[in-house]
Amino acid sequence: MGAEATSWFLFTLMAVVIVGCSVAMMLSRNFVHSAVFLAGALLSFAGLYALLDATFLALLQLFIYAGAVTVVVVFVVMLTSTSVVAFDSLLQRQTWLALAVGVAFAIPLIDALRTLAAALPLAATAPGGTEELARALLTTYVAPFEISSAILLAALVGAIYLAREAS
C-alpha cells in the first residue's frame, strides 16, 4: 500500500470515527457517555490535523479541546446533575422542529461547502511555522484570543455557581 492510499485510509477512518462519535453523542441519553463521545470526536480531529502535518494544531486540539474542555464538560455534567426525565420530555416535544431547523441549516451549508471545495487549489501550500502563529495570536488576534479565554473562565465559574446553588 502506497503513502497516498495509507493517508486516504487514515483520513476515511478518522472521518467515520468523527461522524460516528458525533451522532452517538447527540443520541446518547447519558450525559457522561456524551462527553466520552465528544472526546472521541475531538481526538479524531487531532488525528486529522496530524495527518495534514499541522503538528502544532494537533497538539492544541489534543491538550486544550480533547483534554481540558472535555474535563470541564464532565465536571459541569457531574456538578449540575440535570434531571434526565425533564430533559427527555423536552426533547420529545421538539424533535420535529429540531429536524426542520437542522435541514434548513444543512442545505445552504452543504451548498457553501461544495462551492468552497471547488474554489480550493489542488496543491497544498506550505503552512506557516509556530512562530508565525504565535506572532499572529499575540499581536493581530490578541483580543479574540483573550475574549475566548475569558468566556471559558466564565463558563467554569457559572458551572460552579450552579452546582453550589443546587446543593
What does the pLDDT look like over 118-161, one tens digit per residue? 877 776 565 567 788 778 878 888 888 788 888 878 877 877 77
pLDDT recorded at residue 143 = 84
pLDDT recorded at residue 127 = 59
Cell of 2: 502506497
pLDDT tens per residue, range 35-62: 889 889 989 998 998 888 888 888 888 8
pLDDT recorded at residue 34 = 84
pLDDT recorded at residue 56 = 81
Ramachandran area for residue 41 (φ above 0: left; ψ -120 to 50: alpha; else beta): alpha
pLDDT recorded at residue 149 = 80
Can you tell me whether residue 82 is helix, strand or coil?
coil
Sign, CA torsion 156/161/164/167: negative
What's the CA gap between 41 and 107, in Å, rounded? 23
How confident is residue 116, by pLDDT bands cut at 50, 70 and 90? confident
pLDDT recorded at residue 113 = 81
Residue 19, pLDDT > 90, answer: yes
Give 114-119's long-range contacts (Cβ < 8 A, gap of 24+).
none
pLDDT tens per residue, range 23-34: 998 888 777 788
What's the CA gap between 42 and 73, in Å, rounded? 13
Kindly list the distances between the CA atom of residue 55 and the CA atoms of 12, 16, 129, in Å, as whole numbers in the listed order.
19, 21, 10
pLDDT tens per residue, range 66-107: 778 777 777 777 776 655 555 556 566 777 888 898 899 989
Report the top-level CATH class of 3-127.
mainly alpha
Report yes or no: 117 and 66 within 8 Å, Cβ to Cβ: no
pLDDT recorded at residue 22 = 92
Cell of 4: 497516498
